[in-house]
Amino acid sequence: MAFLAAFIHIALAIVPALAVGVAPGQIKNLITFGDSYSDSSIYPAADGGYAWPTWVADYAHVNLYGLARDGATCSNALTPRDFPPIEEWQLPHYFGSLANGTIPYLDPEETMYVVWIGTNDVGVGQLISGPPNPDVSLVQVRQCAVSVVKQLYDSGARNFIFNNMLTLDKTILYSNYSYPNVYWTEQRNTTEWNVFMKEIVMAGNMMTDYMLRETVTQMPDAHVASFDTNALFTDMYYNPQNYLNGTASLNVTGCVHSCVYALNQSTADTGDCTIATGSDADSFLWYDELHPSQQSDRNLAKEITAVIQGGQSQWATWLS
């Protein structure tokens, strides 16, 4: 019996290795859903330059269709904000654009869909500070994120990359040394927020992984990669010399564009800002108190590019 249990454990452990994903040269189109971390519709993006999908399109020579929008949550029915959520705006906009020809027909075998959502669902004004809808839980917002993959699959999509939540507790906004900034100027216990956000992200990512693996069993012929964005940013945080290459001292606790506000100051005003310019900006992990820097996004883009080109990334696991 012990031998059988050990065999089953080993067999389950090697299943992901048997999922080879997409072939080199297969992917010609990239479609993204998410929030400001992935919003390629504006310049400068939230990282102060080009969003990571724009870099992937350049590195991999693929056509980019960016549906991600700044400020988005998965669903306004769960965590309402005055921004275009995936469920109520991004998915309908995508399907509508296909129907009216704004987005041309895309061969499902040649198209990769990337879903990266969650930062605003768990962030300020929502789970971390008390959501408008008190009945909404972390389980529901993560179920919503996984359901996006299944909805796209049901519409004909077959190739996916699902990104988990990055290390939000290591952003300045949710750090234990945080200060009043453009995202939050009210009184708060920064240590409590830091600990709570770490637990939210860790628990949310773990349950999402289980949900995604279960959903994959309902998606025959799909290729789904689970991308551990959290692990990548953890590595960048602790080993910045491997990722950051600016001319200033390497910095993972500050940001390129730092604005300090007075307590309870209106964010319509301008805070006391310090801005790194030129090549100094590439020394920072974070662009501002919440968003990754341009250099961090280029590092992410290189890893995503490797995945969609049929190569290897230590941060990605093909589940099917």
Residue with tokens 């399109």: 57
> How confident is the model at residue 165, as a pLDDT?
98
Q: Give the angle subtended at the CA of 37 by the CAs of 130 and 115, to the nearest 5°.
A: 90
Distance CA 234, CA 19 (A): 26
Per DSSP, what are the bridge partners of residue 258?
Answer: 274
What is the pTM for the complete model shown? 0.93
Q: How far is CA 289 from the centre of its chain?
A: 16
Q: What's CA 273's distance to the chain center, in Å?
A: 26
Please report the pLDDT score of residue 240 as a whole number.
98
pLDDT digits (tens, 9 = 90+) for 161-207: 999 999 999 999 999 999 999 999 999 999 999 999 999 999 999 99
Q: How far from each other are the two terminal CA atoms of the chain, in whole angstroms?
A: 29
Taking only the tens place, the pLDDT of each residue in 250-286 is: 999 999 999 999 999 999 999 999 999 999 999 999 9
| DSSP conformational letter for 14 | H
Q: What angle do CA 15, 159, 315 make, to 5 degrees?
A: 55
Q: Give tens-digit pLDDT for 3-24.
A: 434 434 443 444 444 577 999 9
Residue 51 confidence (pLDDT) above 60: yes
pLDDT-based confidence at 131, cuts 50/70/90? confident
Rounded Cα distance between 226 and 110, Å, is 19
Domain extents in the chain: 24-171+185-233+297-308
Query: CATH homologous superfamily of domain 24-171+185-233+297-308?
Result: SGNH hydrolase (3.40.50.1110)
Token pair of 233, please?
């940013």
E strands of 50-189, at which residues?
63-66, 111-116, 159-163
The DSSP element (H or E) to which 59 belongs, if any, is helix 52-60
Query: For residue 224, what are the contacts with CB-CB under 8 A and spacing of at least 6?
Result: 149, 160, 161, 162, 212, 216, 318, 319, 320
Q: Is 192 exposed, middle or buried (0-12, 13-18, 19+ CB in 10 A)?
A: exposed
